[in-house]
Structure 1
Amino acid sequence: MSVKLALKQFLVVSALFSLMACQQNATTSQADTSNQEGISIPYEKYTLDNGLTVILHEDSSDPLVHVDVTYHVGSAREEVGKSGFAHFFEHMMFQGSQHVDDEQHFKIVTEAGGSMNGTTNSDRTNYYQTVPSNQLEKVLWLEADRMGFLLEAVTQKKFEVQRETVKNERAQRVDNQPYGLRHERTIEALFPSGHPYSWSTIGYVEDLDRVDVNDLKAFFKRWYGPNNAVLTIGGDIDKVKTRQWVEKYFGTIPKGPEVKNDEPEQVELNETRYITLEDKVHLPLLQMTFPTVYARHPDEAPLDVLADILGSGKTSLFYKNLVKSGLAVQAAVAHPCRELACEFQLLALANPAAGVNLKQLKQVVHDTLAEFEQRGVLPDDLTRTKSSIEVSTVFGLQSVAGKVSTLAANETFYGEPDLVAEDIARYNSVTAEDVMRVYKKYVKDKHAVVLSVVPKGQTQLGVAEQNYQMPAREITPPSQEDSVAQPVIDDSFDRSIMPAAGEIPAVKVPEYWESKMASGITVLGVHNDETPTTILSLALEGGMLLDPPDKAGLASMTMHMMNESTVNFTNEEMANALAKLGSSIQFSTSGRYMQVQVSSLTKNLSETMELLKEKMFRPAFLKTDFERLKERTLQSMQQQVKDPVFLADRGRDEVLFGKDNRVSLPNEGTMVTVENLTLEDVKAFYDKYWSPYMAKAISVTDLSQPELTRQLAFLNEWDQKEYEISEQYQFPEYDKTNLFFIEHPEAVQSVVVVAKRGPTYDATGEFFKSRLMNFPLGGAFNSRINLNLREDKGYAYGARSHFSGGKSLGFFEVGSNVTAANTADALKEIIKELDTYQSEGMTKQEMAFMRNAFTLSDALKYETPLNKVRFLRQLQAFELEDNYPKQQIEIINTISLDELNELASEQLKLEDMQIIVVGDKVVLEQQLKALSFPITHLTIQQ
């Protein structure tokens, strides 16, 4: 993996407390240990008699806890012909257990004010929840029940439903996505047949179809024992109670079969394997993948540094030779590492306008490697790496969830939660000689898997004629698994009784200060001393609303240009200066706002502010930068229209807001409007609108208000220029529901959207109350729409509805990706749910569910600096009262069922809604004709 990715996974620092376990085989406590950076990770780890490893972490800064259960099983421990089992079981683990009803795990956690999910990769599966601290015992009860009491709840019906859900997930994320098969095709060629990494985590559909429920149960029995799991609990916990609850709920679960760690399986290629994938893409893609080592091998860190030098950001050689030259729209180098093997990946998305094919692009990559070998490793290369280590470490302190997941991963794979000192040391010790050594050992003149992804019917664009074909898999017919019995577990308490929540923790809305600068900028600030960091967010109102009608995308292009060269710094010089500080400065547009986002270690803030001043007030606006960005934008736009979800969003906006209105177009505009842009337009936009007139700033920092004010003093030099925002629109009106069809040939799924214009944002009025009303309908996992389409019918991986609102526009939509063959059926079910809810409203039980979910979730709202920034931005943007969160809680607790149901009656009338469908005309034409809606074929303007 790249250095940054490695650090994200490993370098997270926390304060962990020491406990004595009630019943344990071994206890390890570590406190006050430090590395050369002065960073320590005190922690406790102990093991129950059944082999369950427990890690405890105390962080009382916020009234929440994060619980992670990681099982050391992923797709690498599956059998040939039974791929996708680990991921399949991730789904099954949410389908209820002996003492928890079907679909209740999500409902219980949501109603407790928490969030939850599970993830699977090749090496592990984890399940996690973040909840208010008073809900910890309930979460431990839930996790223990599915660890020890799942088998009797795994029925054939649930198995069949989740099999369809997994197929829908694969279709949505892999088969129906541009470049979606890139990873699967690469690993099939990179690893020998039968290697644990030779198939993807989501698996093959034919394998899922081949097996039955007893195969799945046997997989669970083999791998999901407590002795193959790590339970990590972090946050605002009571030490004694936590220890007691762990023993109570997990201690009697019997140990599973013995599990031994697999040995790394490095691979070597005896030839370069060329493969070509025809796909629904506009931009041809080149990927070269070299096999290397395995995670924590001594050569992993030098290879990460090599990847960073070659292909990370504007300081890299790949950026200079491929992106800046205009030959590629994007180019990157990465070194993803897994438990058993790693890969060194070189990737480039070709720019068709440059007139090069992938063979020529590969030659540029080869020349770039030769240039690197001649140039060598520069001192700044290593300085950037060491800065990224420090920044990743410090910023990793900001989330309990991040700390807990890192501790869990390190323990699962390496038997040691605390690897911070070791990781910092191994990256800091990488030398220029190390980097050149691993380059020559693993990359130079070595065989690779060379993948060409080309538009359908254009195989001539590939690097070379395909010389590798995946051999037929030798699959042994599955043996008939015997019925797998639930083990008998004797407890001294009744597990069917769900633990009650503790006393609701007090949640404090962040205290903030407010000041106004001489330039007119209002600043809101929060003092946050949990980490020595500063985040600054600057927003200028106007954004896309300032674009001339025929030049949509001008605001966006101007912000992109402000990320480029300045008067005193080239692109590369600025990127290098920021990287050595470990700082980030990013200009962007989002709807009606132009934004500047800055993050920095506070000790480097002064130097970062000098670079910000340079970028804000001395942009170079070079013609070469403009032409490159314009061409990259145009090529990206042609790629976007290959994405069915993008097409559905464009269709929704055009249908609701009119194709001639600026608000119906993306921030970046369209190909037609971007073609109209000139460099002079960018300069004129900057001169007219780059002003503090409507600018507001937010900061979360460990500095005091006077200290931060001094750091921002340069903003008082900003000349104020007044301007107006025009928002005069004529929106389309419809006298009935219409179906707008957007063709997406050969799509294996359809995207369906049912939408209408809705209320604009407010914190305590119709918009807020409409969100409350929608929650049981489509706002939660356990909502009516999601349970219908995903769990009951198996038509979709997920389906949701929501109200979205800004200052001047709002809309309501139901959206889902559904199987093509069931598109009309899915639409009928969505309409049925809307009609029923509109006429009958929510039930008292749904009302209680909504109230608990909304009122108890406050504990999770303000944890990190970014959470605090979002809260303050909401206050600023909509000029809300300080106590609006308190007002919202009062509304939630007092609003009547009748008022919410009256809102449903008003807001959810089908005759006010329009339907958008994106899919394959051949498959859908007859389905859609059978519906009772007029059909209009819609072509999205590029």
Structure 2
Amino acid sequence: MNKPAILCVGIVSLMSLSACSVKDSVVDSHVSTKQTSPSLSLPAGIKKITSVTKKDEALVIPFNKYELDNGLTLILHPDNSDPLVHVDITYHVGSGREEVGKSGFAHFFEHMMFQGSENVADEQHFALITESGGTLNGSTSTDRTNYYETVPANQLERMLWLEADRMGFFLDAVTPEKFENQRETVKNERGQNYDNRPYGLLRERVNEAMYPEGHPYSWLTIGYIEDLNRANLNDLKKFFLRWYGPNNATLTIGGDFDEAQTLAWVKKYFGGIPRGPEVEDPEYTQVTLPEDRYISMEDNVSMPLMYMAYPTVHVNHPDEAPLDVLMSILGSGKTSLLYKNMVKNGKAVQAQAGHGCSELSCTFTLYGFSTPGTSLAELEKIARDSLLEFESRGAQDDDIERVKAGIVSGMIYGLESVSGKVSKLAAYQTFRNNPNGIGHDVARYEGVTKADVMRVYKKYIKDQHSVVMSIVPKGQGDKIIKPDTWQRYERNIPDNEDTSDLVLRPGTSDFDRSVIPPSGKNPSISVPEIYRAQTKNGIKLLGAINSEVPTTTIRLRIPAGQTRESVAKLGLASLTAAMVGEQTRLSSAEDLSNKLQKLGSQVSFAAGDKFTTLNIRSLTKNLDQTLAIAFEKLTQPKFDQADFTRLQKQQIEGLKNAKKNASTTASNTFNQLLFGNNNSFAYADNGSVATVEKLTLEDVKTFYQQHYGPQKAELIVVSNLNNKQVNAAISGLELWQGNTSSMPAIQAFPELSAGTLYFIDKPDAAQSEIRIGKRALNYDATGEYYRADLMNYNLGGAFNSRINLNLREDKGYTYGAWSLFRGNEFQGTYKAQAGVRADTTADSIVQFRNEISAYAEKGMTDQELQFVKNAIGQRDARNFETPRQKLNFLAEIMTYNLDKSFKEQQNAILAQITKDELNALATKHLKLDEMITVVVGDKAKVFDSLKPLFKNIVELDPEGNPL
């Protein structure tokens, strides 16, 4: 079930404020032709548990499940559609297993697991996978921690060696230095994603009020700073020994591999790791509130927020599915009651419902961001009235059909990546002890009745108590819904310290684990076959066949982006795109939304620098109906005044809120300084408050009439249909008529005041956002731009680049730092950036300068040259897997008029390029005396420390204007 959700340790965005969920939204996938032979000989110490194969058209992920003698569960999903493998190891431990006073341990430990093990050096884990052309990460939720990597298929043995070494041979490699460094990194992550982000502390406050003191969900997965500060190395080691045994883990592998060889490797690397303590499933206890709890906070935000949260059941509970249907009725999309009662009438910028589920509890949420003139108390009343409205109308057939269609389509879209299939298998095994959970999911949602939905409403929502939170701008405490009725308690931290000795579980090996396994033979990589066409009215078409899944993804690019709007009318392209996505002359927006949801399809419009893009995603069986809706929106917009007023207000409030985000402010200011006040693309796509306030409906109509036409439009398609079938499907586009404009002249860029610091004050900011850079090369697929990107890779383009290793891994100043070249056909930039702890702002700039200047003067090493050649040379194995990836590849070809052989040309350049050539590019492009610096931070904390670093300092307001 797709639910509005956020990562438990990720970014809290304006648009996603529902509770964390352990469930994934990507489910089913392509079925491989490879199947396990019934006579497959198993290595000693591995037993087969079960197999699931595909039958007819049933939605399943075929797999074979095994178990090792030490309790490790192994799930194998062969899929030879692409030359890659995805490896996931999930441990059944998250913040829900933590003790009072030791919050954040599960997530902290996730960080530590990337710091090397007995046979893997510090920072080597990232280096080996990146050099292999792979990608990797980890994540922590309330209930599980997983580590995963996607690599070319020839790297599988190496991945198993890496994962086994940190499962069984980790503790001896943990040092106080690594511990302290990662403690600082986690604190920086909290600062960047919670303390320094608008609405970032919402969930922490709600959870404290929702759950009893001491309940493990009463704190966030990121934990409290004071708990992180109190942690010691022994605590961490004991956490590992308690929870990180193979009997509490599931190893899932999907992709192109030989099953017999994989089983042998798993036995070799994991078989000698001893079992850990036995782990029982956590015990579920119903959460109830004795009364409504009103809480509030003042935050650095522009839009007040009303947020209501009800405790319900737990993940996989029989009532979870009907509660999800209730969520959809109340607050999902333009068919929902909250949209009708809050957003459509202009009372709220956004309003949604959510039902996030975890192992011990689910939370049903209703929220809205109020518009000027609407109080939070009024939004609360509307929310409660909407509940009463549901009670009187009940669930309807359309509601049930919409939700079921969303379930099935979501599962089929999940066919598109091996990582999606693997993560789903791992989650089903971890929380149900059965990887084959898709059939049950389909059945439980298809079995929901209208009576079920009303029953769960009356049981869990009607007359039940909730946490009601108000978040208001600083200094506006009088705007909360009502005075707080619940106060944050002083946390009761137990005094007793665990003084027991560590009981180690040494692993055994009959081979030398210090030897890095060799890579297998490089996989054969081929770019997608493409076809070209042109419609009668001039639309250029570029397509590729993706036979793995019965879906179609389409991107129609109309040259009607920000470059077509004047500086006086910034935001017009974006507002026009939003209006085209509303009602048409033939249908209401609600009717169109209802149809799309029942088809399981997505249709949206968005404006960027050059294009306004119509994005379409559909099950191929529903393509004709989906295209009919998309074409109706494109060619028959109604341009209603009420829609315009509402969307204009939403865009303005969104711009105001963006100014509260330090990272957004820093990036927008940097771009404006580089490309000048006379070029519209130098500004945010949504424009500025001052310009959007002046736009009129006639402006939108005129922009549409002048720029929305088929000439110079481009259509990119990835589908399981062939080119003839695609041409037939899109034939309706040939009736589209309209004007097309030429690309306007780019105004001269301003002369940079190199060496200048541009400073924007953000009072009380826990972090400072830094941008250092200049104008640079325009895009060129096989020219100097491509080569400069290769040059930068070791400096700031990879996780284990010099910049990130210095600022994050060595200094602990930041959650992440990098540098990059970015360009298109009319502009380019070089930029180094990071969000850093406030007290390290000045030294972070010094470190950036040191790394950039040293790289420019001395260049890269022979080892770094080989690293970039290996990493870039092998990553194409994972670049053409999903329809979205294929679409991006086609878009690059279309935008820059490339032949698909440009990838071969790039590979030839990569193979032949020398260290001297790359070092010469570093000397040419990495000149600090040509760069400017932008800092957004707390002036009271950091400004004085910056003064000695700059001869010229200009203070700006959040709009980029000099003070």
From the superposition, tell whether residues 211 and 4 of structure 1 become closer, same or farther in structure 2 (CA, over 3 Å): closer
The residue aligned with 1:709 is: 727
Identity %: 48
Give 1:482 shift: 5.3
Aligned residues of 1:795 and 1:819 also touching (Cα < 8 A): yes
Deviation per residue, 1:163-192 (Å, 9 max, x gap): 011100000000000000001111111000
From the superposition, tell whether residues 630 and 722 of structure 1 become closer, same or farther in structure 2 (CA, over 3 Å): closer
Alignment partner for residue 75 of structure 2, among 32, 52, 55?
Answer: 55
Alignment partner for residue 105 of structure 1, among 113, 125, 140?
Answer: 125
Letter of the aligned partner of 2:834 in structure 1? S
Aligned residues of 1:542 and 1:725 also touching (Cα < 8 A): no
Give 1:563 shift: 0.6
Give 1:724 shift: 1.6
Task: Measure, in 1, the Cα distance between the counterparts of 2:740 and 2:444.
Answer: 54
Stretch moving more, 611-620 or 111-120: 611-620
Does residue 444 (structure 1) correspond to residue 462 (structure 2)? The answer is yes
Stretch moving more, 52-61 or 706-715: 706-715
Alignment partner for residue 344 of structure 2, among 314, 320, 324?
Answer: 324
Task: Measure, in 2, the Cα distance between the counterparts of 1:596 and 1:530.
Answer: 24
SS in 2 for 1:336: strand
Task: Measure, in 1, the Cα distance between the counterparts of 2:652 and 2:90.
Answer: 44
Task: Measure, in 2, the Cα distance between the counterparts of 1:435 and 1:864.
Answer: 36
Task: Measure, in 1, the Cα distance between the counterparts of 2:816 and 2:46.
Answer: 43
The residue aligned with 1:631 is: 649
Give 1:302 shift: 0.2
Aligned residues of 1:2 and 1:335 also touching (Cα < 8 A): no
Give 1:12 shift: 2.4
The residue aligned with 2:28 is: 12
Does residue 894 (structure 1) correspond to residue 915 (structure 2)? The answer is no
Give 1:822 shift: 1.0
The residue aligned with 1:176 is: 196
Task: Measure, in 1, the Cα distance between the counterparts of 2:341 and 2:247.
Answer: 51
Give 1:612 shift: 1.7
Does residue 838 (structure 1) correspond to residue 859 (structure 2)? The answer is no
Does residue 548 (structure 1) correspond to residue 569 (structure 2)? The answer is no
Letter of the aligned partner of 2:51 in structure 1? Q
The residue aligned with 1:30 is: 51
Give 1:9 shift: 3.8
Task: Measure, in 2, the Cα distance between the counterparts of 1:736 and 1:604.
Answer: 55
Task: Measure, in 2, the Cα distance between the counterparts of 1:595 and 1:34.
Answer: 39
Letter of the aligned partner of 1:594 in structure 2? T
The residue aligned with 2:544 is: 526
Letter of the aligned partner of 1:553 in structure 2? G
SS in 2 for 1:876: helix
Letter of the aligned partner of 1:12 in structure 2? D
Aligned residues of 2:560 and 2:708 also touching (Cα < 8 A): no
Aligned residues of 1:11 and 1:389 also touching (Cα < 8 A): no
The residue aligned with 2:232 is: 212
Does residue 885 (structure 1) correspond to residue 903 (structure 2)? The answer is yes
Task: Measure, in 1, the Cα distance between the counterparts of 2:4 and 2:561.
Answer: 31
Aligned residues of 1:15 and 1:43 also touching (Cα < 8 A): no
Alignment partner for residue 59 of structure 2, among 30, 39, 47?
Answer: 39
Give 1:798 shift: 0.8
Alignment partner for residue 424 of structure 2, among 390, 406, 412?
Answer: 406
SS in 1 for 2:759: strand
Letter of the aligned partner of 1:21 in structure 2? L
Give 1:728 shift: 2.7
Give 1:932 shift: 3.1
Does residue 646 (structure 1) correspond to residue 667 (structure 2)? The answer is no
The residue aligned with 2:935 is: 917
SS in 2 for 1:488: coil
Letter of the aligned partner of 2:234 in structure 1? N
Give 1:472 shift: 2.0
The residue aligned with 1:241 is: 261
The residue aligned with 2:876 is: 858
SS in 1 for 2:806: helix
Task: Measure, in 1, the Cα distance between the counterparts of 2:269 and 2:523.
Answer: 23
Does residue 136 (structure 1) correspond to residue 136 (structure 2)? The answer is no
Letter of the aligned partner of 1:151 in structure 2? L
The residue aligned with 1:150 is: 170
Give 1:8 shift: 4.2
Does residue 334 (structure 1) correspond to residue 350 (structure 2)? The answer is no
Task: Measure, in 1, the Cα distance between the counterparts of 2:53 and 2:744.
Answer: 59
Aligned residues of 1:585 and 1:596 also touching (Cα < 8 A): yes
The residue aligned with 2:332 is: 312
Alignment partner for residue 814 of structure 1, among 822, 829, 832?
Answer: 832
SS in 1 for 2:218: coil
The residue aligned with 1:784 is: 802
Deviation per residue, 1:68-92 (Å, 9 max, x gap): 0000000011110011110001000
Pairing 1:720-759 to 2, within 5 Å after superposition:
721-734=739-752, 736-759=754-777
RMSD: 1.5
Task: Measure, in 2, the Cα distance between the counterparts of 1:56 and 1:105.
Answer: 23
Task: Measure, in 2, the Cα distance between the counterparts of 1:196 and 1:835.
Answer: 47
Give 1:29 shift: 2.5
From the superposition, tell whether residues 4 and 168 of structure 1 become closer, same or farther in structure 2 (CA, over 3 Å): closer
SS in 2 for 1:107: helix
SS in 1 for 2:653: helix
Aligned residues of 1:34 and 1:421 also touching (Cα < 8 A): no
Deviation per residue, 1:74-118 (Å, 9 max, x gap): 001111001111000100000000000000000000000000000
Give 1:807 shift: 1.0
Task: Measure, in 2, the Cα distance between the counterparts of 1:905 and 1:313.
Answer: 52
Deviation per residue, 1:778-800 (Å, 9 max, x gap): 00011000011111111111100
Alignment partner for residue 444 of structure 2, among 402, 426, 445?
Answer: 426
Deviation per residue, 1:677-723 (Å, 9 max, x gap): 11111111111111111111111111121111111111111225342
Task: Measure, in 1, the Cα distance between the counterparts of 2:654 and 2:945.
Answer: 33
The residue aligned with 1:497 is: 515
Give 1:660 shift: 3.3
Deviation per residue, 1:638-670 (Å, 9 max, x gap): 111000001101110121111332121111111
Does residue 197 (structure 1) correspond to residue 217 (structure 2)? The answer is yes
Q: Which runs of 5+ in 1 are unaligned?
A: none
Task: Measure, in 2, the Cα distance between the counterparts of 1:626 and 1:384.
Answer: 27
Aligned residues of 2:562 and 2:571 also touching (Cα < 8 A): yes
Letter of the aligned partner of 1:294 in structure 2? H
Letter of the aligned partner of 1:287 in structure 2? Y
Task: Measure, in 2, the Cα distance between the counterparts of 1:382 and 1:212.
Answer: 51
Give 1:854 shift: 0.2
Give 1:261 shift: 0.8
Alignment partner for residue 631 of structure 2, among 603, 613, 624?
Answer: 613
From the superposition, tell whether residues 720 and 287 of structure 1 become closer, same or farther in structure 2 (CA, over 3 Å): closer
Deviation per residue, 1:756-775 (Å, 9 max, x gap): 00000111111111100000
Task: Measure, in 2, the Cα distance between the counterparts of 1:585 and 1:33.
Answer: 31
Letter of the aligned partner of 2:126 in structure 1? F
Task: Measure, in 2, the Cα distance between the counterparts of 1:800 and 1:183.
Answer: 29
Does residue 115 (structure 1) correspond to residue 131 (structure 2)? The answer is no
Task: Measure, in 1, the Cα distance between the counterparts of 2:537 and 2:958.
Answer: 43
Letter of the aligned partner of 2:948 in structure 1? A
The residue aligned with 2:306 is: 286
Give 1:499 shift: 0.3
Stretch moving more, 668-677 or 119-128: 668-677
The residue aligned with 2:620 is: 602
Give 1:464 shift: 1.1
From the superposition, tell whether residues 889 and 481 of structure 1 become closer, same or farther in structure 2 (CA, over 3 Å): farther
Does residue 21 (structure 1) correspond to residue 39 (structure 2)? The answer is no
Deviation per residue, 1:353-380 (Å, 9 max, x gap): xx12111111111111111111111111
Does residue 474 (structure 1) correspond to residue 492 (structure 2)? The answer is yes
Task: Measure, in 1, the Cα distance between the counterparts of 2:496 and 2:30.
Answer: 46
Stretch moving more, 725-734 or 561-570: 725-734
Alignment partner for residue 760 of structure 1, among 764, 778, 781?
Answer: 778
Letter of the aligned partner of 1:710 in structure 2? A
Task: Measure, in 1, the Cα distance between the counterparts of 2:821 and 2:680.
Answer: 21
SS in 1 for 2:116: coil
Task: Measure, in 2, the Cα distance between the counterparts of 1:751 and 1:452.
Answer: 28
Deviation per residue, 1:424-445 (Å, 9 max, x gap): 0100010000001101111112
Does residue 576 (structure 1) correspond to residue 594 (structure 2)? The answer is yes
Does residue 661 (structure 1) correspond to residue 679 (structure 2)? The answer is yes
Stretch moving more, 660-669 or 295-304: 660-669
Task: Measure, in 2, the Cα distance between the counterparts of 1:66 and 1:727.
Answer: 46
Task: Measure, in 1, the Cα distance between the counterparts of 2:480 and 2:323.
Answer: 28
